[in-house]
A = this chain, B = another copy of it.
């Protein structure tokens, strides 16, 4: 005895509202991980640049996580522009994506506490999995023919490549970190040219 699914699919609005809510909260909670620097009593103001420099990984983790979640939100929006119908699978895959997004502030906090091999790998791993759930969502929607009519299989593949670009960079950074953590962090900067090119070319 199936419920009328057409009705439910018109309820996409609430799924997007929940998604935008979780993303907005996760992206804003990130700042709670940055600790206010403590100036030792009696020290002059001039020690502050040093204190702030010692916290560089907290600011870096904040900006990185913010921009990555931001780019995933852009991709999420792109997916749901093309989805015309949805079923229970979409709802649960979307909840899985939101579970990963909600987990990012914790991973970002682990990186801020341990900006070494473990922290880099943990944050990169979390961001990889988050990106992959989005790619999974896209692949599911395309296999179940929930996408709008007239979207060629070539366009679907190009989008898939785009969704896989960030996870690819994070997997690469995990591999590089195994040899050189400093280089592993630098690997993250590849996100900028790669996303820039994908944005303009595709």
- Name A's B-contacting residues (CB within 8 A): 1-3, 7-8, 11, 14, 16-18, 20-32, 34, 36-37, 39, 45, 48, 62-63, 66-67, 70, 73-74, 77-78, 81, 88, 91-92, 95, 98-99, 102-103, 105-106, 109-110, 113-114, 116-118, 154-155, 158, 199, 201-202
Are A105 and B14 in contact (CB-based, < 8 A)? no
A19 to chain B, nearest CB (A): 8
Are B78 and A28 in contact (CB-based, < 8 A)? no
Are A117 and B45 in contact (CB-based, < 8 A)? yes
Are A199 and B88 in contact (CB-based, < 8 A)? yes
Which chain B residues border A155 with CB–CB below 8 Å? 1, 3
Docked pose: A26 CA to B167 CA in angstroms: 28
Q: Which of B18, B62, B67, B78 contacts A20 (CB 8 A)?
A: B18
Q: Which of B31, B45, B81 contacts A11 (CB 8 A)?
A: B81
Q: Which of B45, B81, B99, B105 contacts A118 (CB 8 A)?
A: B45
Which chain B residues border A27 with CB–CB below 8 Å? 22, 98, 102
Q: Which of B16, B66, B92 contacts A99 (CB 8 A)?
A: B66
Are A36 and B113 in contact (CB-based, < 8 A)? yes
Are A1 and B81 in contact (CB-based, < 8 A)? no
**What are the 6 A-B residue pairs with the smallest beta carbon separation, nearest first?**
A21-B24, A25-B28, A70-B95, A17-B20, A28-B102, A22-B24
